[in-house]
A = this chain, B = another copy of it.
Amino acid sequence: MSAEPIAHDPKWRRLPGERPHQLIEAALDVFSERGFNAAKLDEIARRAGVSKGTIYLYFDSKEELFKAVVNDVIAAQLREAHQGPTPKSESEALERAMRANWAFITLPRFDGWFRILIAELPKHPELLAFYNRAVIDRGWAKLEAIIARGVASGEFRRVEPRLAVGFANSLVIMHRHWVSANSIRPEYQSRDRQQLIDAIVDFALAALRNPAFHSPAQ
């Protein structure tokens, strides 16, 4: 699974070698720490161990570099295959998907990334649209299918699946932000992340499960 996210129009050149990757790595760090505007190309170049001008050998502008970073992060996000044994129930499927998602976005390197996404992505309609297509139309669709099946079988309460996906993701996304450094709720940083996702999953399943439902297997 190679995941070349924007295969239709890869505007940023991908010259051979490691340089572009090094630059994207450095840029991810600096963007995450400082935000798009406050990030200085000087610092990105320094962290990548190259000079400022080198960036422009691979990316046409600071904005294109940013796009490449977004693209790479999204690519990684899409590679998260969530594979595993066939779940016995939709509850288990949902839980597994939420945990996989949590495990991924909880990676330290995405620590400040949520801020970027929230604050900067809306300024790039092209990327926003792409992000919607790539992540939502795939990731959300998968969750939506799970919930729809659960509702159909009676395992879940009668909820609008699309909304339920938003609810589940709200919990995961917001708490991922709160556990990051410099978030608005620093108290969450000291929480055990495992217990946190446990509680989140428990909360979501409690909200969705149909109390009157009994597994047909039993």
Contact = CB atoms under 8 A, between A and B. Distances in A.
Interface of A: 35, 37-38, 114-123, 128, 131-132, 136, 157, 159-160, 163-164, 166-167, 169-171, 173-175, 177-178, 182-188, 196, 199-200, 202-204, 206-208, 211
Given A115-B119, A206-B157, A132 B186 contact: yes
14 contacts: A38-B123, A115-B119, A123-B182, A128-B182, A128-B184, A131-B184, A163-B196, A163-B199, A167-B171, A167-B200, A170-B171, A206-B206, A207-B207, A211-B211
Question: How many copies of this chain sit in the oligomeric assembly?
Answer: 4
A73 to B, nearest CB: 13
Contacts of A121: 184
A195 B180 CA distance: 32
A119 B35 contact: yes
A126 to B, nearest CB: 13
A214 to B, nearest CB: 14
A187 B129 CA distance: 11
Nearest to A169: B174
A181 to B, nearest CB: 8
A186 B160 CA distance: 18
A186 B132 CA distance: 9
